[in-house]
Amino acid sequence: MRVSVDPDRCVSAGQCVMLAPEVFDQDEDGIVTLLQSEPPAELHAVVRQTASLCPVRLIRITE
């Protein structure tokens, strides 16, 4: 799994950080940052859930 984000569209809702703090963080303005782009298998399910819950759907997953 490869994860990418489009920070320009982030509305700082924070769901990603609450659900998967191992993969996502927020900068001082609340904008998403990616901690790892190829998360381990045990995080794949929660990363998929995060992508579906992001209100602006900016989290992209490539399998």
3-class SS shares of the chain: helix, strand, coil, % to 5: 35, 20, 45
Instruction: Tell me the C-alpha distance between 61 and 11, whole Å.
Output: 19
- Min dist CB 30 to ligand SF4, Å, is 7
DSSP-derived 3-state class of residue 22: coil
The number of angstroms, rounded, from the C-alpha of 4 to the middle of its chain's C-alpha atoms is 8
Tell me if 51 contacts ligand SF4 by CB under 6 A. Answer: no
Q: Find the binding residues for ligand SF4 in span 8-47 (CB under 6 A).
A: 10-16, 26, 32
State which of residues 8, 29, 41, 55 lies at the interface with ligand SF4 (CB under 6 A): 55
Per CB under 6 A, residues contacting ligand SF4 are 5, 10-16, 26, 32, 54-56, 58-59
